[in-house]
Amino acid sequence: GDPNADSWDESIHARAQKFFNLRAKDADQMVFGEELISLEKIEDFSQVLAPEAKHLGTLTAPREFNLMFKTVVGALGSDDDASFLRPETAQGIFVNFKNVLDSTRIRVPFGIAQQGKSFRNEITPRNFTFRSREFEQMECEFFCSPSSSRAWYEYWRNRRFQWYISLGLASEKLRLREHDPEELAHYSVGTADIEYAFPFLPEGEYGELEGIAHRGDFDLRSHMEGKLINRDGKLEVELNENGKPKHRGCGKDLSYFDDQTRERYIPHVVEPSAGADRATLAFLCEAYDEDECPDENGKMSKRVVLRFHPRLAPVKAAVFPLVKKDGMPELASEIYGELKKHFVTFYDEKGAVGRRYRRQDEIGTPFCITVDSQTLEDGTVTVRDRDTLEQWRVHKDELVAEITKKING
């Protein structure tokens, strides 16, 4: 054998013992495997080290956990009144698929999008709004023909990934991760997650922002026929002991007739599903920055700034009179009144102009507009950029066009 192999093994054992903070007697019992092993296949848990455990034998066998939020409807509170809050917004879309199809006369492919509250009985809510029991969900169910569904899945997967980049998330902090076959839900043809390197996660780890799932015809078939199960790679209706559907569907025909190809089929579904709370948290984490810039006295000092993409900034522009005299407040108020017709605008005349800049930097306002003595002469105002600190003059009558161009550019 290789004389270096033993020393290599000892080194690995020592590093593992230190990493897991193991006692020496437990470390001696440590067994290294080259392959990942499912917890369901482990027979003796006494030799398995739990995450962050001090010693062996604390990990229990996996068990099923209901992530649906249970509640009671009505005043009596009996078992018959048990109900569950929705864990996703999607099912309401599938229930109304036929209604939308008939009332709008729309043709496949088309999508139905919805935003709303969802609830999950999370075991350990943590990291602010990253994982919570009540959250805001944005979902789109995109219905398409079986033959084009793979192409549409790839389209939505790439389109959604680019959406986050277009609104300011750094591409090096994002990744598009395709699920391995063993990760896929029983109904899924393919699933990809858009993940972001949140600052509160260990280096190299990512948190999910959005999932894009190719759900095949599972959902519409389930509502038509009843609960489906995967049997040898094929979706079949789950039957009871009498050979009838264990959980019945609605019985309605949810198939679609394509009058151009003259074929009838059950549409396939591609589902982008995003958490609005997580996306907001990611944009906040990406935008937060601290730098140094001159204060009102010209000295370099620390500045807290939210570098939101202008389209995401809650306030698009702020208007300041340089001083509270000489007609500047009146003219600034007039400009403010015109700008707020087009986008959210803030007016501030209190304190030194430098401090007013800092206040707007902290809430992410991309553009500050100052009315000064030159404005009274030629009608031009100073526009200041939040990120570059660049200042330039624009005529007050051209401000709406200038700010709109900057926001959309």
DSSP string, 314-355: S--EEEEESSS-TTHHHHHHHHHHHHTTTS-EEE--SS-HHH
Amino acid at position 152, single letter: W
Could you give the residue range(s) of every CATH 3.30.930.10 domain in the chain? 82-282
- pLDDT tens, residue order, the chain (409 aa): 555 556 666 676 677 666 666 666 666 666 665 566 677 777 777 767 776 776 777 777 777 888 888 888 888 777 788 888 888 888 888 888 889 999 999 999 999 999 999 999 888 888 888 888 898 999 999 999 999 999 999 999 999 999 999 999 999 999 999 988 887 877 778 999 999 999 999 888 999 999 999 999 888 888 777 666 666 667 666 666 766 766 665 667 788 898 888 999 999 999 999 999 999 999 999 999 998 887 777 788 888 999 999 999 999 999 999 988 888 999 999 999 999 999 999 999 998 888 999 999 999 999 999 999 999 999 999 999 999 999 999 999 999 999 999 998 7
CA 68: distance to chain centroid?
Answer: 20
Contact indicator for 219, 277 with CB cutoff of 8 Å = no
pLDDT recorded at residue 226: 67
Residue 3's pLDDT is what? 55
What does the CA dihedral 163, 167, 171, 173 come to, rounded to 10 degrees? -110
CATH class of 82-282: alpha beta
Residue 4: its pLDDT value, please? 59
* Nearest partner of 285 among 174, 407, 192, judged by Cα: 174
Range(s) for CATH 3.40.50.800 in the chain? Answer: 295-408
Here the tokens at position 182 are 């063993």
Q: Phi/psi class of residue 247: alpha, beta or left (left: φ > 0; alpha: ψ in -120 to 50)?
A: beta
Which tokens go with 38?
């499912």
User: In whole angstroms, what is the distance from residue 184 CA to residue 358 CA?
Assistant: 48
Is the pTM higher than 0.95? The answer reads: no
Task: Give the amino acid at 41.
Answer: K
Q: At residue 153, what is the residue type?
A: Y
| Contact criterion met (CB below 8 Å) for 160 and 212 | yes
Dmax of the chain from CA atoms? 92
Options 3.30.420.270, 3.40.50.800, 3.40.1360.10, 1.20.1600.10; which CATH number does 295-408 get? 3.40.50.800
User: What is the model's pLDDT at position 219?
Assistant: 84
Give the three-state DSSP class for 376. Answer: helix
